[in-house]
Amino acid sequence: MSSGFGRLDRVSFPDAESPDTESPDAESAAVDRALVPDGLSVTVVDIDDPGDLRVDDFRDLNSVDRRPDLPALPGGRVGKGLVIAEGVLVAQRMIASRFAPHAFLGVDKRLHELAADLRDPSLAGVPFYRASADVMAQVVGFHLNRGVLAVARRPHVLDVPHVLDVADVLVGARTVAVLEGVNDHENIGSIFRNAAGLGVDAVLFGAGCADPLYRRCVRVSMGHALLVPFTAFTDWPGGLDILHENGFQTLSLTPEPSSPDLARALIDPATGAPRDKVAFLVGAEGPGLTRAAMRASHIRARIPMSRGTDSLNVATAAAIAFYERVRAGR
């Protein structure tokens, strides 16, 4: 079954990108146009003018009123809503995902580092705009851009049943994360990275969540936001019924002292075995899940706390829940 999503079990990248030890001035000279790696599918185009219109999809990434990754701009204007990948690792993950890059912007060093990936036949004819570090910084708006950017258009978002069917080619999804009111981009990015590392099959969004394709989300997730399947419910919290119809036990994480410990809640009392399908619900920093969401879920569970701590950061709490699920044998 084809999902259109990138497959986590077919792609493996390290999660640490070595910093570029060269100063921006080291690559500020004109690039050597004669040196292009052999066999690239992309078309290398040298850019010397920061005002070149061909790189507008990368322009002014730190500008609130015109940055290209925002679907909506101030004043009710419609934005481009492009997906931006920053750095070699995240660009690699974009190439491996359902988010097909339509352009790259980078320095010569990153072109060579990405050469093997840029031979992918799916990138035939895609431009790699090669520039000096100084020109690139003038286009983007800042120097700390990791030396390469990739840009893609947003694909159609799949509906929730489709996500659950395709998260695992063989047996379908068994563990999913459900977010409500999580409006911090770094938390969402961290949850995607935790989900990727701890075997979560999909991330589903309820009401009040920030855009998972916002540039900071993608960057903090180390590109896993492009690979882990995700979508949003159109009805909340009524959409949880779709999970229930697909055999999921929905488990709300809460600091309520009366709730059972998470490890115990993950065990089916009827069989003494780990629950077959689990959806973890996590809420916003501070208020947590709404009462309506908790009432719509099957189970409430808490992470045991000590020293008077009442709760954890939402991304940390989600990671603990994901790990507990792995530890339970699922």
**pLDDT tens digits for range 29-86:** 445 555 899 999 999 999 999 999 999 999 988 877 677 887 777 777 777 889 999 9
Residue 148 bridge partners (DSSP): 106
Between strands 101-106 and 148-152, the pairing is antiparallel
User: 8-152 falls under which CATH superfamily?
Assistant: Ribosomal protein L30/S12 (3.30.1330.30)
Assess if CATH 3.40.190.10 describes domain 160-327: no
The answer on pLDDT for 274 being more than 50 is yes
Residue 46 bridge partners (DSSP): 130
> What is the residue type of 116?
A
Length of the chain: 330
Residue 307 has, within 13 A of its CA and on its CB side, a CA count of 1
CATH fold match for the domains 8-152 and 160-327: no
Rounded Cα distance, 264 and 35, in Å: 60
Nearest Cα to 326, choosing from 197, 187, 189?
A: 197
Residue 283 has, within 13 A of its CA and on its CB side, a CA count of 19
pTM: 0.86
Rounded Cα distance, 163 and 155, in Å: 14
The answer on pLDDT for 25 being more than 50 is no
Task: Quickly list DSSP for 61-105.
Answer: TT-TTT-TT-SEEGGGEE----EEEESHHHHHHHHTSSS-EEEEE
DSSP class of 317:
H
Res. 15 pLDDT band, cuts 50 70 90: low
The residue ranges of every structural domain in the chain are 8-152, 160-327
